[in-house]
Structure 1
Amino acid sequence: MHFPRSSGILLHITSLPGPHGIGDLGEQAYQFVDFLQAAGQRVWQILPLSPPAFGDSPYSSFSAFAGNPLLINLAQLAEDGLLDVEQVATVEPIDAPGKADYAAAQRLKRPLLDEAYRRFSDTTRSETHEQYDAYCLDNAWWLVDYARFEAYRERFGTSDWTRWPEQLVHRVPEALMRTDRELAEAIARAKFFQFLFHLQWSRLKQYANERQVRMYGDMPIFVAHESADVWAHQGLFSLDEGGRPTVVAGVPPDYFSETGQRWGNPLYRWDALRGTDYAWWTQRFRSALEFYDLLRVDHFRGFEAYWEIPADAPTAVDGRWCLGPGTEPFDAAREQLGPLPIIAEDLGLITDEVHQLREDLGFPGMRVLQFGFDNPEDDFHRPDQYPANSVAYTGTHDNDTIMGWYGKRRPKPKSQTLADEDDPLAPYLRGDEPVHWQLCAAVLESRSDTAILPMQDVLGLGNAARMNLPGQATGNWTWRVAAEACSPELATRLQQATERSGR
């Protein structure tokens, strides 16, 4: 699927500024949409919105379908009558400029979210109650088990569902019903938080779409073992009789990590999924495409072949390649959903078979400038080689910033703007502008239908602004943009660069 020639910014919701520990779906998100519009950008790319399970990573979640309640904006709850304006106005701001503090956000927001639920529960029925009932009915196919999972993990003190009472591990209907009655309020509260998230996200998406900004989401191919998804659909995953994974996902050594990555996600039983005509995957695509206008499928190569690691192996080194399902999950989804506006994340150790699969499906792949200059003989990721049906980046959330990368690549550059003549990067750095603007321009001016610039690269920030270091379990996902960074001057400069590139 070809997209109109356009460009956008990669900035996760948590990276927005604001007083409550992490960025959220409030005023700063709307102001960023205004900035994108002023800057001539037509795409806002974000990371997964799901509630993170471990290490605050949006790629490890308690649910593939739920939204992160910490992204709910308190001021909007007050506007909707679910909190007092004074309650929100008197909240002590979290003093962590430029850095997300998820634990502090949890401590601050959870009591107020609980108060919003109590107020909702204690008031007479209103239009909001009707909307809530309709939301619960429409989303019951995933929401019931997710809300159970949230209530159960709170009751039993662990998200490792294999350690819950045996009848709940194996989902004995009578045990589920009995526990549901005992935890009815906690289950209803979890559903209510999802309703609030959905309401606020829908408003933001509508605001962006009305300003010709498309929301570009991200779908991890795998899900966490300690999630509602695996607990509710154990037969679709490679698990033993106790529910624990027998094999797990990861990748062999590549240019992201010398030792590979052992992600630990349970692997799918593709034979079982095929027997259902990939119903779970179709539901997942449907849900995601209701949230987003464009969808990046992370680790797309896993549909062609995936790296299978024994669950007891300490690293990813001893894994093996296994054939994936190919086009089948996408074919099944298209039968019900029509054309799929999907971008294939085809980075890492990519074979001709992976490229062929992507081409068979008609999905654009990704090209990343930072990968184009490690080998003088390999120009695949150099901007002048990008095909139209691709999405071009200076870097992704897994890369260093463009200036961090440039500084490491050239620890003692001869100047701020010029590379050595024998460097394959040199043709892209011949102007008078700062390096980051020249490299951003190279991506914008490429033939790729879509160009995406991480906000850190537009700002020319260094290594300290990196979002994620693959293989590092803690300390990631914390960068936040300064409130004053999205200035009218920056918008004008970006708009001019975008216009010059014909986007």
Structure 2
Amino acid sequence: MEKKRECGILLSIASLPSRFGIGAFSKSAYHFVDQLKKAGQKYWQILPLGPTGYGDSPYQSFSTFAGNPYFIDLEELIKEGYITEEECNSYDFGKNERYIDYEKIYLSRFKVLKTAYERSNITKTEEFYSFVNENAYWLEDYALYMAVKNSFSGVSWSEWEEDIRLRRPSALKKYKNKLADEIDFYKFQQFVFAKQWFKLKAYANKCGIKIIGDIPIYVALDSADSWSHPELFQFDEKKKPIAVAGCPPDAFSPTGQLWGNPLYNWEYHKKTSYAWWIQRIAYSFKLFDVVRIDHFRGFDEYYSIPYGFPTAEKGKWEKGPGYDFFEKLCKQLGRLDIIAEDLGFLTDSVLELVKKTGYPGMKVLEFAFDSREESDYLPHNYTNNCVVYTGTHDNETIAGWYKNLNAKDKQLAIDYLDIGTEDEEQIYWKFIRLALSSVARLAVIPIQDYLGLGNEARINKPSTVGNNWKWRLLENEITDELLEKIRKITKIYGRSS
């Protein structure tokens, strides 16, 4: 990132308005880029772009490298003649413009894309052939994985028949032949996704907007990565996890958080000079201008829970690769624009790791107002090498959070920000100003906070399933008046060009 003071807005692609039930690389995305420019912003932060499964979480993806086919703009496929307006309108993508209906998206989106694929004759084009060759190192395994998964009614590879679960050569050959057309269909989805995404990214960059991408530290057990490269993970001889990821018990979660992701075999990664990880980061920097690495602490120490335990209570901390990985990464790829997600309880060793890498860490204002102790998240404790947020995708909106604060913490916020009764109705602007006025090099505000929305607009509540990742922006909800207000406050605090 630049050394000068800048700011941006956090908005998931899925949360954009669109005609077909979920945000996409559609005209709404281009319009949002125009709005960012008009508001004096320099960054658009998004959530992970990978294909999602059970629970709809972008942090539990079927692939580290693949893109989510839900984000493909169907209107562009209509223009290209692959599908018709009538065909798209014949499917039910959900009627609620405010919230995504993932079940309806799942039941309709792939049928539309299959029609487009069958009409495209894409496999005979030079452009498609080049894309497949260039991305063969991940695309071949991903497309085969999804085709086989589909043939087994969508269950995870851990439940497949043993021959293909263990990737025996005869089984791989059998399924490649048997599912050849389905495999090409999944390659088609990735080709269209990449073509549309890079077009959108180029437009954003041309408008002076950089994209902050988000990559989870872990991959899902139900993923092409864990199936095709079991040597990367802590698996036994039967390709079953030995231990899985999560977080220990704390005041918010008495039994801890059991994420269930397979843990890395860091000894193997070290022997290969972290080849897979470096390949992953390099690919991420093709997709994005800046990369936020989720759960950065896991590179210092990771919480290991024996596989099969129902909660995270029996886990223990193990040593991660530490600075050795980042040293190798820097030698291979040079100095990179990485944001370290270093939230939560941090030990001296992880603080030292973040400092040694030089990457900016994160500061979240919702974590700052704890009346029991002095907080590093209070702005007077910041250095400039950090990124400040009012909240993230895992938090309440700032309006919802303030409403739910206990009396002592609220009084601390009132005293710190000099909040008067006249400020209560638009309290969110007080916290936005606090973030933008801080010394942090970069400030990122979720669009829900600029809109002053309550917790009905919350994106995710950790450790829950069923009501997350659904919120969407409404058409014309961001007004010219709001953009002008954002532009002015951005300029006041020296964050506009």
TM-score range, shorter chain: over 0.9
**Which residue of structure 1 aligns with residue 72 of structure 2?**
72
Unaligned 5+ runs, structure 1: 414-418
Deviation string, structure 1 residues 447-486 (Cα, Å, up to 9, x no partner): 1011010111111111111111111122111111121211
Deviation at 1:11, TM superposition (A): 0.7
Deviation at 1:3, TM superposition (A): 4.4
Deviation string, structure 1 residues 165-211 (Cα, Å, up to 9, x no partner): 22212212232112101110000110010001001111111111111
**Which residue of structure 2 aligns with residue 416 of structure 1?**
none
Distance in 2 of aligned mates of 1:360 and 1:35: 37
Distance in 2 of aligned mates of 1:3 and 1:153: 46
Question: What does residue range 62-461 of structure 1 map to in structure 2 within 5 Å?
Answer: 62-88=62-88, 94-121=94-121, 125=124, 129-254=125-250, 257-409=253-405, 420=411, 423-430=412-419, 433=423, 434-461=426-453
Distance in 2 of aligned mates of 1:77 and 1:248: 40
**Which residue of structure 2 aligns with residue 42 of structure 1?**
42
**Which residue of structure 2 aligns with residue 9 of structure 1?**
9
Q: TM-score, normalised by structure 2?
A: 0.95
Distance in 2 of aligned mates of 1:230 and 1:362: 31
Deviation string, structure 1 residues 1-36 (Cα, Å, up to 9, x no partner): 764321111110111112211111101111111111
Identity %: 44
**Aligned equivalent of 2:479, options 482, 487, 501:** 487
CA spacing shift, 1:219–1:469, aligned 2, 3 Å: same
Deviation at 1:119, TM superposition (A): 0.8
Deviation at 1:330, TM superposition (A): 2.3
- Alignment check: 8 A CA contact 2:92 2:104 kept: no
Unaligned 5+ runs, structure 2: none
Distance in 1 of aligned mates of 2:476 and 2:407: 30
Distance in 2 of aligned mates of 1:115 and 1:482: 29
Deviation at 1:275, TM superposition (A): 1.1
Query: What stretches of structure 1 move > 6 A for 4+ residues in a row?
Result: none
Deviation at 1:411, TM superposition (A): 7.2
- Alignment check: 8 A CA contact 1:373 1:425 kept: no
Q: TM-score, normalised by structure 1?
A: 0.94
Aligned partner of residue 315 in structure 1, secondary structure: coil
- Alignment check: 8 A CA contact 2:93 2:101 kept: no
Distance in 1 of aligned mates of 2:429 and 2:158: 51
CA spacing shift, 1:263–1:93, aligned 2, 3 Å: closer
CA spacing shift, 1:330–1:258, aligned 2, 3 Å: same
Deviation at 1:71, TM superposition (A): 0.8
Deviation at 1:342, TM superposition (A): 0.5
- Alignment check: 8 A CA contact 1:248 1:263 kept: yes
- Alignment check: 8 A CA contact 2:9 2:446 kept: yes
- Alignment check: 8 A CA contact 1:256 1:348 kept: no
Distance in 1 of aligned mates of 2:432 and 2:389: 8
Please identify, of 187-196 and 89-98, the stretch whose mean Cα deviation from structure 2 is larger. 89-98
- Alignment check: 8 A CA contact 1:256 1:470 kept: no
CA spacing shift, 1:103–1:429, aligned 2, 3 Å: farther
Aligned partner of residue 484 in structure 1, secondary structure: coil
Deviation at 1:304, TM superposition (A): 0.3
- Alignment check: 8 A CA contact 2:93 2:105 kept: no
CA spacing shift, 1:281–1:301, aligned 2, 3 Å: same
Distance in 1 of aligned mates of 2:304 and 2:372: 32
Aligned partner of residue 240 in structure 1, secondary structure: coil
Please identify, of 269-278 and 166-175, the stretch whose mean Cα deviation from structure 2 is larger. 166-175
Deviation at 1:382, TM superposition (A): 1.0
